[in-house]
Amino acid sequence: MVLPERVDGDGGRLREEFNQAVRRPEEFGGLPEVARLLDRLAAGERRPSGQVWIPDTNARLAPSALLRGSFPDSDTYVIASQYGEDAHRRGWLRLDRSLTPAEHAAVVDRAVTWTESDRSLPDVLAEFGPPSVTFGPPDPHRPKTLSYATDDPAAPVVAFHLGSARTDPDPDDRTPPDAVLLAVRVRDEFLGGWELTPTGVDRFHQRPERASE
């Protein structure tokens, strides 16, 4: 990731550009543009030491680096949600809904065990309410990530990763099925931080690189 070329003087405008791009990266230049906007935001907040904070979530070695490639149709929104979390820790992410401490504690406590069964987009919304941020298109059948957060930047952001349903099309039904839950991320750790649904596990084992072995 390259250093920002200049410090942006209009921080409010830049934050709004970032918030639009991170929610719908495919409409605003893709993930490289999201990363570029983060770099420019960081450059606008140079520390007294002269250091510039460069977000590097996409390159770090973590469970997400392994799992992202397992869900190709939702890969973009998994990465976008991680950039969003980086921004939230710096106060740059605008939340559409800020959870109360009690609501947030309930999501953190229940998300992993709740995801041990297959779920769909309506199930997530019915169980936990509207998300703090949706990374991806609004269409209910399209892949996306729903993230739940509070105003506390140090609190974990719980992310539900959804992919398109893989079912044989019904010629008499023109309504695509709702997106299905593949995994939840509470922390980027192997033990207790991630949980895959049965559908998510199936897709993990069907990765192209494994199919060729």
Q: What is the pLDDT of residues 8-54, one digit of tens each?
A: 557 789 999 999 999 999 999 999 999 899 888 988 776 555 555 55
Q: What is the dihedral of CA 78, 83, 84, 88, to 10 degrees?
A: 140
Alpha helices in 52-143 (DSSP H): 63-68, 75-89, 101-114, 121-128
Give the pLDDT score at 140.
96
- Grade residue 203 by pLDDT with cuts at 50, 70 and 90: confident
